[in-house]
Structure 1
Amino acid sequence: MQSVERNLTKDSDTRTTVSELVTANPLIRDADAAYMLGCSKATFWRRVADGTIPPAIKIGGMSRWRFKDIETVIEKAADSRSAA
């Protein structure tokens, strides 16, 4: 990732850095997951629809993903790249 200190939330009271997320394995928003993957939110949702990314955990009207699940998607892509 380019900047480990990138703030992942917009609220000034709840600033979280990527390094803090790695140790906590929290639920993250689509925008944060898209940032991790280096894509737009629209592309992120297309990957959810085609099954490349696991479906969201729904909490009320919110959609969230486990940080580790997105990390696993990245690891799988890296493994398939090196296998080819």
Structure 2
Amino acid sequence: MNYAAAKQYYEREGHLRVPRKHIERIVGQDQEERQHKLGAWIGNQRSRAATLTPERVELLSRHRQCDGREGRCRHPRGAAAGV
């Protein structure tokens, strides 16, 4: 669900520079609204980048393009996106 929350935020805002305290509300498959601490989750993913599995890195990389330097990523529209 955190990936869905990140995708929803990205599609609405055009970036993933999510404030640490941001809570994203999404509607699940069961039509229930859920609140995700997206800012904290994104921050945690960034801090654990070196230990993520290749599958998780792929999921997180779908909305960004990196130039090879740590923390220097851009999403496809050109704005900086740390994750």
Query: TM-score higher than 0.5 here?
Result: no
Give the TM-score taking structure 1 as reference length. 0.27
Structure with greater proportional helix content:
1
- TM-score w.r.t. structure 2 length? 0.28
